[in-house]
Amino acid sequence: MPGPGNVGERVRNLRLTRRLSQAQLAGHDLSDSYISLIESGKRTPTPTVLRMLAERLGCTPEYLAEGVEPEQRAHLEVRERHAHLALLRGDAATAEAGFDEVIARSDDPDLTSRARWGRARALEELGRTDAAIALFEELREQAERDPGRASWLPPVIALARCYHTVGDLGQAIALGERAVARLEQLGLGVGHEYTEAGRILLLAYVDRSDPVRAHDLGRRLLRPEQSAQDEPVSVHYQRASVRALEEGTIGDSLYFADQALAARSDSTPVQSRARLALAGAKALLRGVLPFSAAAPPVVPASSELGIGRPRPEGSREAAQEALELLQGTADLEGEESTESTIAKARALVLLGELDDAIATLERFLDTGMALAPPTGTQSVTVTPQPGSDLAVRTQKTILARLVLARARVAQGDLTAAQVVLRAASEQLAALSPGRPAAHLYRELGELYELVQDTESAAAAYRQALQAAGLSASQITSAPSGTRTPSLHGPHDDPGL
């Protein structure tokens, strides 16, 4: 544990423990009055005096100055690194306990700051997003107050992600745009920071029903100029560090210098790119035009699938481009792997490859667990990680049933579609109200319309509004053929 109080209190406590008078501690080199001033906090000893006092008191200068022995500090440094390793392997609870210990015991500002960052990430992984936001906000304020010590970019990007998770799209977009603008100002159009900030912003634009901005950003993220890909990522980081240094923003300069040193490959980390590819595919399947298109022209609503069949959530070209992006998601695990599988099935439905879509979804529903993103024509079952959130897994299972029902309707098998919809409806009834449930209910209502069950469709629309938090007085029965208001959702919106 750190020594109590300040330097003077530690000197006094050790002197009394050693049964020394102030005169004895002062010796021939110092005066007892000077010792008295140190102990009362009215004088701060110089490094030379600290070494002299430490020798006479039988401790180290570091202990007198900061209250932590070198061995204790080394232990806390190791503990902080082990907590980060626990976080990386998915054990957020162990990581949080480790970071809490470091924060409680460390007097080193840099070590404490790293531990607070790790604790915020652990809280986010544990689903305690509001607590994570509070801590990330503190870290952002600290970085903005003292830009010479730390960069504000990491906490701003983390906050954009957290606000998106809780459904605050205004904050998520404002922070995401701020981060992307800063990175582009530094000429950094590659790397984890740009990829993550862009991924969050892309999803937020889609959730806010802003396909034009989503399309523009998707093109920049997923189809960058070739020149940006010709150099190692470490070179881009180093260049950004130099630019930040020239601006006088030392915190940014140090951060990107560290990132340049840590870069171990010539490209953006594979998993980071895979997550961006998944976000791009989800955007394409929710109405954003193909990123290969130079600009989003006005496209008339397609009637290609005919009356009584699933209305497309994206064009055939967008679905094909989504499938191409999903080929790059093989490194995703857990919930994101499940999302990739369901997104592939949804794209296959749009392309009319119904047998493949149904086979993919039925394999998923038979196992009840995430499937690895298929490569080629094969799918491999992945065992869910311990501690998987049951509610999230249930949402994904319901979503898989809804996409399966779309495929059955497209086949013309309305009876099979109704069986699947009833199973989805029963599972939905067990979910807690919220945006994820609201989106699922809305899609359930659309599908009930397609199978010509208008009563169930109207009930599903009412449940969608209730799940979104609207009062009974605000809800009116939705007549057949009428759509409910758009329900813009957060990051955990299950709609793909």
Tens digits of per-residue pLDDT, 433-452?
887 888 899 999 999 999 99
pLDDT in tens, the chain (496 residues): 444 568 898 899 889 988 899 999 998 888 989 999 999 988 889 889 998 998 898 888 878 887 766 566 677 888 898 998 899 888 999 999 999 999 988 777 788 899 999 999 999 999 899 999 999 999 999 999 888 888 999 999 999 999 998 889 999 999 999 999 999 999 988 889 999 999 999 999 998 889 999 999 999 999 876 555 567 888 888 889 889 888 888 888 888 888 887 775 444 567 888 999 999 999 999 889 999 887 655 544 333 333 233 344 678 899 999 999 999 998 888 888 889 999 999 999 999 999 999 999 988 888 654 333 333 333 333 333 333 467 788 889 999 999 999 999 999 999 999 999 999 999 998 888 887 888 899 999 999 999 999 999 999 999 988 887 765 445 444 444 444 444 443 334 555 6
Type of residue found at 484? T
Looking at residue 123, its pLDDT comes to 95
Looking at residue 296, its pLDDT comes to 57
Beta bridge partners of 330: none
Cα atoms found within 13 Å of the Cα of residue 58, Cβ hemisphere only: 8
- Hey, what are 181's tokens? 């603008």
CB-CB contact of 431 with 395 (8 Å): yes
Quote helix, strand, coil % in the chain, to nearest 5: 65, 0, 35
Q: How far apart are CA 325 and CA 151, in angstroms?
A: 32
Q: Long-range CB contacts (< 8 A, 24+ apart) of 75-79? A: 76/101, 76/102, 76/105, 76/106, 76/108, 76/111, 77/111
Query: What are the DSSP calls for 304-329, one per residue?
Result: TT-TTSPPPSS-HHHHHHHHHHHTT-
Cα atoms found within 13 Å of the Cα of residue 297, Cβ hemisphere only: 6
| DSSP annotation of 380 | E
CB-CB contact of 118 with 84 (8 Å): yes
374 three-state secondary structure = strand
Q: How far apart are CA 77 and CA 94, in angstroms?
A: 16
Query: What are the DSSP calls for 465-495, one per residue?
Result: HHHTT--GGG-----TTPPPPP----TT---
CB-CB contact of 461 with 445 (8 Å): yes
The C-alpha angle with vertex 272 and arms to 266 and 277, in degrees rounded to 5, equals 110
pLDDT tens digits for 8-19? Answer: 988 998 899 888
- Hey, what are 141's tokens? 């304020």
- Hey, what are 286's tokens? 């929710």
CB-CB contact of 318 with 344 (8 Å): no
The C-alpha angle with vertex 381 and arms to 375 and 383, in degrees rounded to 5, equals 135
What values do phi and psi take at 375, rounded to 5?
-115, 125
Q: Distances in Å between the alpha carbon of 185 and those of 103, 157, 225, 240, 259? A: 34, 16, 16, 9, 17
What is the C-alpha end-to-end distance of the chain, expressed in Å? 50
- Cα dihedral 364, 368, 369, 371, rounded to 10, equals -10
Type of residue found at 105? R
Which residues lie closer than 8 Å to 429 by C-beta, 6 or more apart? Answer: none
Type of residue found at 365? L
* pTM for the model: 0.72
CB-CB contact of 102 with 80 (8 Å): yes
pLDDT tens digits for 395-424? Answer: 899 999 999 999 999 999 999 999 999 999
Nearest alpha-carbon partner for 336 in 301, 302, 371 = 371
Where residue 435 falls (left for φ over 0; alpha for ψ -120 to 50; beta otherwise) is alpha
Nearest alpha-carbon partner for 87 in 128, 122, 135 = 122
Beta bridge partners of 178: none
Looking at residue 388, its pLDDT comes to 43
- Token pair 């919930």 is found at 335
Beta bridge partners of 372: 380
Task: Report CA torsion sign: 260, 266, 270, 276.
Answer: positive
